[in-house]
């Protein structure tokens, strides 16, 4: 049987794969596991959600599950995922539950769990929660049943936390923010204005159905047009739960997560915040980031794909900045998870402090053309063991030299091998990727 928890909680089609019954069971089991680990007090859980319609149903199930297992619930309503993580620590709770499927389409939903302090749950605790899903045993009754309380000032607490982390006011900046009709539709425009920016908000009217619908960080075209139309200094794009941030410069050109990390790494190195002068990134980060950081004297530590692996490396090495090309950026001294609003504030602060346009700051790195080919295979293990595949990879690497890169990565959930090639020219990368894809296909 497949593990219930993926790299970012439990996710699936709402009311299909992810039913209210499953949500209730997961929440109740989480409360029981926490209580078993610490019997000194009744567990307290913070529960938030993004605005997709199924979140209302699943929130009710999660709250019921927690209370039925004896946990008190602090319900914070529609909030960005990083807000829930922050509030777990700020409200001294034992558990956080965020109901969101992030950038996925509206019909999907998910359950993300945070431990005390707002950190992601260790794999071992997730396994205990999954093992306890049958839920057989004695339930609390009477006064031992958990109580449910709303937290009306939750968004104000989160905003104050963000504003305290802004190094320089955003006075003079005009920014367009695409809120993806998601969880940041209120918080993002509000906090950017409070930080001093003139804000034009788009896709900031969630109706439960329109989250991520042709908008936000996975659909940048409308933001690019709006930045040019409003003659803004830059644009910011969030996803449905606002744990990621991408940007657009004044000309409408995309500034991706790698470029954002390059800007912030140099900013933090200059201010002395970049611990060990090191940035943490995944294997999917563009080679251009590695080349730019090497030129600037910044070391890069590389992890597997997934923000949980970035977080693990950040904690293990005591580093101060890490993230992914997709726009998940983590500042562990300020936040326990990727925070799109904090990332945007730091980027805009750098623009305001230097007086340099975003395009110039992002120009510190040249993004090399990157081609990704998904190759269906019969046996991923056979591909990994194939001498022909290894020989083909070595041949391409020799041709590209230090100006290119090859990465073969088996999918974690499908019989696919992802072939990624970077090179100075797109045609070169495409030809090499197609050649390798043919070898991979033959080897399986």
| CATH number of residue 414's parent domain | 3.30.310.50
Is pTM beyond 0.75 here? Answer: yes
Give the residues of the chain that fall short of pLDDT 50. 1
What is the per-residue burial (b if ≥16 Cβ within 10 Å, else e) of 360-388? ebbbbbebbbbbebebebeebeebeebee
Q: Is 189 within a domain?
A: yes
Annotation marks residue 159 as catalytic: no
Q: Sort strands 72-78 and 148-150 into parallel, antiparallel or unpaired.
A: parallel
Query: Which tokens sit at 179?
Result: 């809120």
Task: Decide if 2 is inside a domain.
Answer: no
Asked if residue 241 lies in contact with residue 98, where contact means CB atoms within 8 angstroms, the answer is yes
Same domain, 258 and 126: no
Q: What's the domain range around 72?
A: 10-154
pLDDT of residue 122: 85
- Helix 20-37 to helix 123-131 angle, to the nearest 10 degrees? 120
Residue 409: its pLDDT value, please? Answer: 86
The reply to whether 121 and 214 lie within a common domain is no
4 found inside a domain: no
Domain shared by 250 and 357, yes or no: yes
End-to-end Cα, the chain, rounded Å: 25
Residue 47 inside a domain? The answer is yes
Domain boundary among 118, 133, 154: 154
Q: Are residues 117 and 182 in the same domain?
A: no
Residue 412: the pLDDT is 67
Q: What are phi and psi of 280, to 5 degrees?
A: -105, 125
Same domain (yes/no): 238, 345: yes
Domain membership flag for residue 1: no
The reply to whether 62 and 129 lie within a common domain is: yes
Domain end residue (candidates: 123, 154, 185): 154
Residue 160 domain flag: no
The answer on 379 and 268 residing in a single domain is no
Of 362, 381, 404, the one marking the end of a domain is 362
Confirm whether 24 is domain-assigned.
yes
CATH number where 74 lies: 3.40.120.10
Identify whether residues 176 and 298 lie together within a single domain: yes
**Residue 398 pLDDT:** 93
- Whole-number pLDDT of residue 410: 86
Q: Could you count the other beta carbons within 10 Å of the beta carbon of residue 124? A: 8
Please tell me whether residues 172 and 99 are part of one structural domain.
no
Q: What pLDDT score does 250 carry?
A: 98
Nearest partner of 250 among 366, 170, 351, 349, judged by Cα: 351
User: Cα–Cα distance between 160 and 192 in angstroms, integer?
Assistant: 12
Please check whether residues 61 and 34 belong to one and the same domain: yes
Helix (H) or strand (E) holding 393: helix 387-400
For residues 304 and 272, membership in a common domain is answered with yes
**Can you say how many angstroms the Cα of residue 207 is from the centroid of all Cα atoms in its chain?**
23
Q: Which of 29, 54, 68, 102 is catalytic?
A: 102
The half-sphere exposure of 233 on its side-chain side, counting CA atoms within 13 A, is 21
- Examine residue 216 and state whether it is found in any structural domain, yes or no: yes
Looking at the fold, whether 80 and 23 belong to one and the same domain comes out as yes
Q: Residues 172, 173, 176, 177: is their CA dihedral positive or negative?
A: negative
The structural domain count of the chain equals 3
């Amino acid at each position: 049987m497949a593990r219930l928890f993926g790299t970012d909680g439990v996710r699936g089609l709402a009311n299909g794969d992810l039913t209210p019954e499953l949500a209730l069971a997961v929440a109740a089991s989480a409360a029981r596991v926490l209580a078993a680990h610490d019997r000194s007090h009744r567990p307290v859980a913070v529960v938030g959600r993004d605005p997709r319609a199924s979140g209302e149903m699943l929130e009710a199930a999660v709250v019921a599950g927690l209370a039925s297992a004896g946990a008190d619930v602090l319900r914070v309503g529609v909030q960005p995922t990083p807000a829930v993580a922050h509030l777990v620590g700020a409200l001294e709770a034992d558990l956080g539950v965020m109901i969101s499927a992030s950038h996925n389409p509206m019909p999907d939903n998910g359950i993300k769990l945070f431990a005390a302090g707002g950190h992601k749950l260790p794999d071992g605790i997730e396994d205990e929660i999954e093992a306890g899903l049958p839920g057989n045993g004695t339930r609390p009754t009477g006064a031992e049943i958990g109580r449910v309380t709303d937290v009306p000032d939750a968004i104000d607490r989160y905003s104050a936390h963000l504003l305290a982390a802004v190094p320089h006011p955003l006075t003079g900046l005009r920014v367009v923010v695409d809120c993806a009709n998601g969880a940041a539709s209120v918080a993002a425009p509000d906090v950017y204005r409070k930080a001093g920016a003139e804000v034009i908000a788009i896709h900031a009217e969630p109706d439960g159905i329109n989250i991520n619908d042709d908008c936000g960080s996975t659909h940048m075209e409308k933001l690019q047009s709006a930045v040019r139309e409003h003659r803004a200094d830059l644009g910011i794009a969030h996803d449905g739960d606002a744990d990621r941030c991408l940007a657009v410069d004044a000309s409408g050109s995309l500034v991706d997560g790698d470029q954002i990390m390059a800007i912030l790494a140099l900013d933090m190195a200059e201010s002395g915040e970049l611990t060990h002068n090191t940035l943490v990134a995944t294997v999917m980060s563009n080679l251009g980031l590695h080349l730019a950081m090497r030129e600037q004297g910044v070391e890069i530590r590389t992890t597997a794909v997934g923000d949980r692996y970035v977080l693990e490396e950040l904690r293990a090495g005591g580093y101060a900045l890490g993230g992914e090309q997709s726009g998940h950026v983590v500042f562990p001294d300020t936040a326990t998870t990727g925070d799109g609003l904090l990332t945007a504030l730091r980027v805009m602060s750098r623009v305001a402090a230097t007086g340099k346009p975003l395009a110039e700051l992002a120009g510190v790195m040249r993004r090399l053309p990157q081609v990704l080919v998904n190759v269906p295979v019969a046996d991923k293990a056979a591909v990994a063991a194939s001498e022909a595949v290894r020989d083909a990879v070595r041949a391409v690497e020799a041709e590209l030299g230090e100006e290119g890169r090859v990465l073969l990565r088996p999918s974690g959930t499908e019989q696919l091998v992802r072939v990624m090639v970077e090179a100075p020219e797109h045609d070169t990368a495409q030809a090499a990727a197609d050649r390798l894809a043919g070898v991979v296909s033959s080897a399986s």
